[in-house]
Amino acid sequence: MGFVLAAKAVTLALPFAYKNAVDAMSTPANEAAMVAMAFVLAYALGRFTGVAFDNFRNIVFERVGQEATRSLAEDVFARLHRLSLRFHLSRRTGEVTKVIERGTKSIDTMLYFLLFNVAPTTIELAAVAVIFYLHFGWGLVLATALTVAIYMFATRKITLWRAHLRRQMNDLDGQALSRAVDSLLNYETVKYFGAEQRETQRYGQAARAYADAAVKSENSLGLLNISQALIMNLLMGGAMAYTVWGWSKGQLTTGDLVFVNTYLTQLFRPLDMLGMVYRTVHQGMIDMAAMFRLIDTEAEVLDAPDAPALVVNRPHITFDHVQFGYEPDRMILKGLSFEVPAGANVAIVGPSGAGKSTIARLLFRFYDPQVGRILIDGQDIAKVTQASLRAAIGIVPQDSVLFNDTIGYNIAYGHDNADIARVVAASRDAAIQPFIEKLPQGFDTEVGERGLKLSGGEKQRVAIARTLVKDPPILVLDEATSALDSRTEQDILSTLKRVAKHRTTIAIAHRLSTIADADRILVLDNGQLAEAGRHNDLLARRGLYAEMWARQASEQEKEVEAAE
């Protein structure tokens, strides 16, 4: 702020030096030449000093602006990770990242303009009003004030109209981006259905709509600039004509003409910028409003005040009359109760929509049940910290999505401080070490976006190794082999059985043959526990499990016959 005030003081003093130089040159005496020369040099030195002060100000402020942007970006990013799974399933990733990008970039610009344009311009307007009053009386002061008021009114009106066009442009830009991201993420699906032209047309429609909106927005900017120039140059012409009239009456000097011209020119520069500042700040508020909505979004799942960490001595899991639905009018689990003893291997099966995968999401506390409790080692998971809860549970999902990084990075992701020895041991236990050793770059091999450079079996083994690095006492296998071929499935199953030893394991399965040797099988139907027992006992009951087993066996026989 010291540099801001110093620069403004120098700027306000410059017209005096310019005026005195011109007045000195109007005097024919030779001695006036040295005086004019001094004022000219003072004017040049003042211009340089003003520029120097402005740039020193920018140098000092740069760290402040960048730190503000970084701090805000990190805060929003952390908040996004605290939001519930429901939020992320209902939003497009491309649009969310665009909102964050625009919002965080706008804060540095807004701070800069508010501190270094609006505040100094206000000071300069007040100073010019005082100077004009002392030299020319109230007439020029009132004319300047009226012109500035009209200028600000016109700028605000046109900018508000432009803001509507800008919002449309932003919405269409986000739509085009989300379509592009969605299409590229589903590259293989597009190829499967030969839909390249269709995807290009969809993206082209969004791009054309954005281009049309951008043309309207830029054309409205031209109209705003013309309106501003007309208002300000009418003042300039009137003020200079008034000065010439005063000179013709002998009331003003030749230097007063450049005096008025210099002040108004200096005033026009920030006032001209003020229009851009208003647009920038207004646009910044539009861009930041969407980000503020993200910041203000309440997290659905929160830690209780002073929640303790989960302590797992015996990883015993209890679902106690749990009722849950993603929507209030459609319940998925209806009073579900079961127990998984410490060290046991329990399988959960049932028809599609029975609520199998919902159990895993509730166990990780991505959602809280509407009714009932979930206990681990006798502790209600809703009353412990989420970080400690999730640290105690590992999962191998059906679709193992990997980061677009190296194999080593993805395996080491299971633990914060995983060293290379731990990564190698995990990859060996997950039976993927031989595959990695054959690769030219070994653990430094890039896996591609979402791990698309690896086969399904390789991705699953990386996911298993990642969980082994985490080394949790509880393991959830969420249909971990349903997307694999029979041979790969058997290899992965043998690996999973070895990994599951000495852990409490919940295996959510679609293929019953993969869990036939489980210690206990829970059969869900319509969100309730229909049957429970070992494989042979359930077959003997001739209930839902036996019916599902017979149906899958029949389908498998038909597949074998068709293959033959």
List, in order of start, the domains of the chain with CATH numbers.
Answer: 2-296 (1.20.1560.10), 307-392+473-564 (3.40.50.300), 400-471 (3.40.50.300)
Task: Report how far residue 360's alpha carbon sits from residue 375's, in angstroms, rounded to the nearest whole number.
Answer: 13
Q: What is the pLDDT of residue 93?
A: 63
Task: Report how far residue 278's alpha carbon sits from residue 121's, in angstroms, rounded to the nearest whole number.
Answer: 13
DSSP reduced 3-state for 502: coil
- pLDDT means per 10 residues, the chain with 564 residues, are 85 80 73 78 86 88 82 82 69 71 78 79 82 81 85 80 79 84 83 83 86 85 83 82 81 78 77 71 78 77 86 90 84 88 89 83 88 91 89 84 86 85 86 86 84 80 86 84 66 76 85 84 88 89 88 70 55
In 297-441, which residue ranges form alpha helices assigned H by DSSP? 356-363, 386-391, 407-412, 420-429, 433-438
Q: What is the pLDDT of residue 248?
A: 82
What b-and-e string marks burial along 384-421, b requiring 16 or more CB atoms within 10 Å of the CB? bbbebbbbbbbbbbbebebeeebbbbbbbbbbeebeee
Number of residues assigned to the chain? 564
Helices (H) and strands (E) in the chain, counts: 18, 10
Q: What is the pLDDT of residue 416?
A: 82
Q: Are 470 and 282 in contact (CB under 8 A)?
A: no
pTM assigned to the model: 0.63
Nearest to residue 261, comparing CAs of 288, 275, 242? 242
Which H helix or E strand runs over 523? strand 520-525
Task: Report how far residue 26's alpha carbon sits from residue 309's, in angstroms, rounded to the nearest whole number.
Answer: 86
Q: What is the pLDDT of residue 263?
A: 78
Which H helix or E strand runs over 60? helix 31-82
Q: What is the pLDDT of residue 374?
A: 92
User: CB under 8 Å, gap of 24 or more: what pairs does 451-456 form?
Assistant: 451/400, 451/401, 451/402, 451/410, 452/188, 454/402, 455/488, 456/483, 456/484, 456/485, 456/488
Contacts of 522 (CB under 8 A, 6+ apart): 338, 346, 347, 348, 349, 529, 531, 532
Q: What is the pLDDT of residue 483?
A: 58
Pairing mode of beta strands 504-508, 371-376:
unpaired
Q: Residue 487 has which token pair?
A: 């041979």
Q: What is the side-by-side order of every strand in the sheet holding 474-478?
A: 393-396, 474-478, 504-508, 345-349, 520-525, 528-533
